[in-house]
Amino acid sequence: MAGNSFGQLFQVTTFGESHGTALGVVVDGCPPGMALSVREIQRELDRRRPGQSRVTTPRQEPDQVEILSGVFEGKTLGTPIALLIKNRDAAPGAYDRLRDRFRPGHADLTYFLKYGHRDHRGGGRASGRETAGRVAAGAIARKLLSRFGVRIVAGTVQIGKVRAARFDSRAIEKNLVRCPDAKVAPRMIALVERARKQGDSVGGVVEVRVEGAPAGLGEPVFGKLDADLAAALMSIGGVKGVEIGDGFAAASRLGSENADPISYRRGKFFTRHNRGGGILGGISTGEGIICRIAIKPTSSIALSQKTVTEAGKPVTIQVQGRHDPCLCPRIAPVAEAMVALVLADHLLRLRGQVGTIRRSK
């Protein structure tokens, strides 16, 4: 499978450059007969959209999505669903001065090294703008998952050194940084604003939680659910780390401290602490799934940085494009989308592979 596709039974293929004609995605494998409207997809896109607040980039993109195929009379056909998002506020001229030089921390250098010919405008294919297609596809995956009672929510649990102390899903959409801790949110916002004013940026951590996922998602030994989640989340630009359940914290513990007894109530199995984040041996337990991603501070900052041109000549640049001072609030819906894509795919695979013998007599 080529690099711009993801998933096996629920497969998405995205396309588009940041300042090109359009972005889009083809979703192949969504089961037929599911009600689906432009509005449902637009709602998710609006959560990722730039220009939402003073803590995000001022680029104005309506990110209006069109459904080109795969839906007939309001319901999915089982055929590929193509979604198109035209670029409106492309400002390619802003990048003219960057044409032959590499912004540090960006993919400019590596696209040059790999492809030779590159679209230098706003990162081209490597721009965060590419995630619009992921979010649009994720909206379809989420709709599918909701039919099975699966809900996904992501919140910013850390910005810089400020950490959330609790995870209250209802708080997330009520503050600008999507923090699940209403008390801590104002401090996070202040931190982001300070960075923005100084032409600086700041990193953070986003946590994704899934409720209602059935047991049995994931396969041995390479097709593990946590392996697929790690790939899906690490594929988001700016993400430098992924952990599942207790993650890196478990590395410094003794086995006796990390123990997690199993119990049983009303037809379901439970672990006491859910240290595995809803996954044991790469397969879901039926408990809540929990993962976290480390997000680096936006590399595009207004402060001057040393770099070189394609010819290797040293230069100093100051990135003048419009950028997010902190990626977390806008990455949260992208992370939800990626988790949704993984779960939708594994859900269909689970239904296909396992239990068929038992279902047949």
Considering only residues 97-156, where is the footprint of a second copy by CB under 8 A? 102, 104-107, 109-111, 113-119, 123-126, 130, 144, 147-148
Q: Which residues contact 247 (CB under 8 A, 6 or more apart)?
A: 277, 292
Two tokens at 72?
Answer: 């007939």
Q: Which residues contact 181 (CB under 8 A, 6 or more apart)?
A: 157, 164, 165, 166, 167, 168, 171
Does 14 sit near a second copy (CB under 8 A)?
yes
Does 181 sit near a second copy (CB under 8 A)?
no
- β-partners of residue 26 are 13, 82
Task: Give the nearest distance from C-beta 147 to a second copy in angstroms.
Answer: 5
Task: Choose which of 43, 54, 75, 183 interacts with a second copy (CB under 8 A).
Answer: 75
Residue closer to a second copy (CB basis): 171 or 242 = 242
Cα distance between the two ends of the chain: 36
Rounded distance between C-alpha atoms, residue 358 and residue 361, angstroms: 6
Residue 88 burial (CB count, 10 A): 12
Pairing outcome for strands 11-15 and 71-72: unpaired
Task: Choose which of 203, 321, 329, 333 interacts with a second copy (CB under 8 A).
Answer: 203
- β-partners of residue 280 are 283
Q: Which residues contact 107 (CB under 8 A, 6 or more apart)?
A: 123, 126, 237
Task: Give the nearest distance from C-beta 176 to a second copy in angstroms.
Answer: 19
Task: Give the nearest distance from C-beta 183 to a second copy in angstroms.
Answer: 19
Does 64 sit near a second copy (CB under 8 A)?
no
Site for a second copy in 205-244 (CB under 8 A): 205, 215-216, 218-224, 226-235, 237, 240-244
Does 165 sit near a second copy (CB under 8 A)?
no
Residue closer to a second copy (CB basis): 15 or 170 = 15
Task: Give the nearest distance from C-beta 217 to a second copy in angstroms.
Answer: 8
Q: What binding mask, one character per residue, do residues 33-52 give for a second copy by CB under 8 A, x or -?
A: xx------------------
Residue in the structure block whose two tokens are 């509005």? 39
Rounded distance between C-alpha atoms, residue 97 and residue 93, angstroms: 8
Does 63 sit near a second copy (CB under 8 A)?
no
Task: Choose which of 53, 58, 60, 72 interacts with a second copy (CB under 8 A).
Answer: 72
Two tokens at 44?
Answer: 């998710």
Rounded distance between C-alpha atoms, residue 43 and residue 139, angstroms: 8
Nearest-5° Cα angle at 237, 114 to 240 = 100
Does 180 sit near a second copy (CB under 8 A)?
no
Does 16 sit near a second copy (CB under 8 A)?
yes
Task: Give the nearest distance from C-beta 257 to a second copy in angstroms.
Answer: 8
Residue closer to a second copy (CB basis): 7 or 180 = 7
Task: Choose which of 100, 193, 200, 211 interacts with a second copy (CB under 8 A).
Answer: 200
Residue closer to a second copy (CB basis): 58 or 115 = 115
DSSP state of 247: G
Site for a second copy in 280-309 (CB under 8 A): 280-286, 294-301, 303, 305-308
What is the number of residues in the chain?
A: 361
330: helix, coil or strand? helix
Site for a second copy in 300-359 (CB under 8 A): 300-301, 303, 305-308, 312-314, 347-358
Q: How many residues bind a second copy (CB under 8 A)?
A: 163
Stretch that binds a second copy, among 44-52, 57-65, 166-174, 198-206 (CB under 8 A): 198-206
Rounded distance between C-alpha atoms, residue 199 and residue 117, angstroms: 31
Residue in the structure block whose two tokens are 């044409």? 99
Stretch that binds a second copy, among 52-60, 78-86, 164-172, 182-190 (CB under 8 A): 78-86
Q: Which amino acid, residue 119? A: D
Does 182 sit near a second copy (CB under 8 A)?
no
Asked whether the beta carbons of 102 and 108 are under 8 A apart, the reply is yes
